[in-house]
Amino acid sequence: MGVTLAFAFNAAAATLTLGVMQRADDERLAPQRVALAYPGHPAGPAAEAVDMAVKESQFELDAAKLRVVIEVRAARNADEAKTLLLQLAKAGAAGVVLDLPAAWIPAAAQSVTVPLLNAGESAETLRQEGCRAHLFHTLPGERMVADALAQAMLARRWTRVLLLHGGSAGDAARLEQVQAALKRYRLTPVAVKAFKLSADPRERDLANPLLLTGTAARGDYDAVWVVDGDGEFARTLPYRIALPRPVVGDAGLSAQAWAPRFDRYGAPQLERRFARGAHRPMTGFDWAAYVAAKALLQAALEQAAAPNAAQMLKALSRPDFTLDGFKGVRLGFRAWDRQLRQPMLLTDGLAVIGSAPVEGVMHPKNVLDTLGADAGESACKAGS
pTM of the model: 0.94
- Choose among 180, 170, 240, 239: nearest CA to 208: 240
The bridge status of strand 14-23 relative to strand 95-98 is parallel
Q: Is residue 269 scored above 60 in pLDDT?
A: yes
Q: Is residue 29 scored above 70 in pLDDT?
A: yes
Q: Is residue 137 scored above 80 in pLDDT?
A: yes
Q: Is residue 223 scored above 60 in pLDDT?
A: yes
Q: What is the mean pLDDT of residues 149-173?
A: 96
Confidence of residue 338 (pLDDT cuts 50, 70, 90): very high
In our burial notation (b when 16+ CB lie closer than 10 A, e otherwise), range 185-195 reads bebeebbebeb
Q: Is residue 4 scored above 70 in pLDDT?
A: no
Residue 218, pLDDT score: 62
Residue 69, pLDDT score: 96
Confidence of residue 8 (pLDDT cuts 50, 70, 90): very low
Q: Is there a cis peptide before residue 357, judged by omega within 30 degrees of 0? A: yes
CA of 371: how far to CAs of 29, 117, 332, in Å? 28, 19, 14
Residue 6, pLDDT score: 56
Q: Model confidence over 41-57: pLDDT tens digits?
A: 999 999 999 999 999 99
